[in-house]
Amino acid sequence: MKRPSSYNTRQSEAIIGYIASLGDGYATAAEIARHFEGEKAPIGVATIYRHLDRLVAMGKVRKYALGGASGACYQHIPDGASSGHFHLKCDNCGATLHLRCEMLDEIPKHVYEEHSFQIDRDKIVFYGKCTSCQADSPVE
């Protein structure tokens, strides 16, 4: 039996609302499912993926992979948001930081102009150590 489209719309709005509440943060489909289970309004993971695919196609959510077992991450794209940003991922603690940097903005431009290749900047991840982890293990 097919569910009414308004039911799907409420789920989609709930999902985008949750992702938007994370600000610059992100969530995996499994984390979204756990959130709604905790809210006593469970949504199946397959349904969440279906809605996320639609939200990505509509340009309301950004999808990127940070590697590891966590799978794809999803982040809200506010209305009128400028082009994407880069990600910094700590190899030690797994923290992910979002980076907007004018200097790095030149890399996709250079690669396109000089090498005719268009980079998807939302998928660029720089790996290293965050400030906290650097403090825990100073350079010798």
What value, to the nearest 5°, has the Cα angle with vertex 19 and ends 99 and 107?
A: 25
Judge whether 61 and 76 are in contact, CB under 8 Å: yes
Query: 93 with 26, same domain?
Result: no
Note the pLDDT tens digit of each residue in 46-68: 999 999 999 988 888 888 876 66
Q: How far apart are CA 15 and CA 17, in angstroms?
A: 5
SS3 104: helix
Task: Tell whether 67 and 88 lie within a shared domain.
Answer: no
pLDDT of residue 6: 43
Same domain, 88 and 73: no
pTM of the model: 0.64
Q: Tens digits of per-residue pLDDT, 84-110?
A: 677 888 888 877 787 778 888 888 889
Q: Give yes or no: residues 74 and 105 share one domain.
A: no
Domain that holds residue 130: 82-140
Closest CA to 66 of 47, 88, 49, 48: 88
Kindly state whether residues 57 and 120 are assigned to the same domain: no
